[in-house]
Amino acid sequence: MTSVTSNASSAPSLWLRRPVPRAAASISLVCFPHAGGSAAFYTAWARLLPPHVELVAVQYPGRQDRLTEPAAQSMDELAVAVAEALHADCPHRERVLFGHSMGASVAWETALRLEASGAPPRHVFVSGRPGPRRQRPGTVHLRDDDGLAAELRRLDGTHAELLDDPEVRAVLLPSVRADYRLIETYRADPAARLRCPLTALTGDRDEEAPVTDVAAWSTATESVFSSLVLPGGHFYLVPQAERVVAAVLDTCGAPTLHPMFP
């Protein structure tokens, strides 16, 4: 596992987004997007957080305001860069990490590196992803554009009308393909263990991350492990946002600030 070192390309301003800045917060909730996803996926969560918790969403290269940058080629490259950015960002704060789908593995690998650097997170949440010993290689990244778009439609995580627009597809699909290549060729170290508590979440109808496979995250920490199953498919956390955030905030000792919707 590569150690954390200072690197200009991993500056917090490149990697971290704050939808609602809270300079006085004592806890950073660091959120990692799914394959093809961006930091904006978590923007609405910021409205659910109390004043002492700041949402910090990770922005991978190759999308939105980082569109011209090359996507990460390996999990080690990505996790090291995020760990470096977090190491330089608000070092006095406690951190809670949350990752969904591909982001679950990125969060776990980042947490391992933070622990190795002496800056362990308070808690790690992994969502919609089988545990390290249940992960399997995939071939979605080898499909043509139509096949890749069909996979996104199947998972129901991307607005279908966006995938019908050729110009949008031309911008969106390269980063999606790069992310799928990264996660489908990634091999977790089955012996690696966090020292902090770990919670695994999934939807009860998620074919990508069945409940029994998600429960295998129990072997990925030496500390307390817990799990939460909520109604829904792979993107269960969109309609279940308030319940997910409430579960996360329970580790921070605070309730949600107010409902997401009026």
Domain coordinates of the chain in residue numbers?
Answer: 8-250
- Which pTM value belongs to this model? 0.90
* Other C-beta atoms lying within 10 Å of the C-beta of residue 24: 8
| Integer angstrom CA distances of residue 110 from 32, 43, 97, 154 | 10, 21, 9, 29
State yes or no: is 3 an active-site residue: no
The CATH topology of domain 8-250 is Rossmann fold (3.40.50)
How many of the other CB atoms lie within 10 Å of CB of 8?
Answer: 7
Which strand ranges, in their side-by-side order, compose the sheet holding 225-230? 16-17, 53-58, 27-32, 94-100, 123-127, 198-203, 225-230
118 token code pair = 């002496």
- Per-residue pLDDT 10s for the chain (262 aa) are 554 444 546 677 899 999 999 999 999 999 999 998 999 999 999 999 999 999 999 999 999 999 999 999 999 999 999 999 999 998 889 999 999 999 999 999 999 999 999 999 999 999 999 999 888 877 788 788 888 888 888 777 656 667 777 888 888 888 889 999 999 999 999 899 999 999 999 999 999 999 999 999 999 999 999 999 999 999 999 999 999 999 999 987 766 554 443 3
Given 10, 101, 105, 175, the catalytic residue: 101
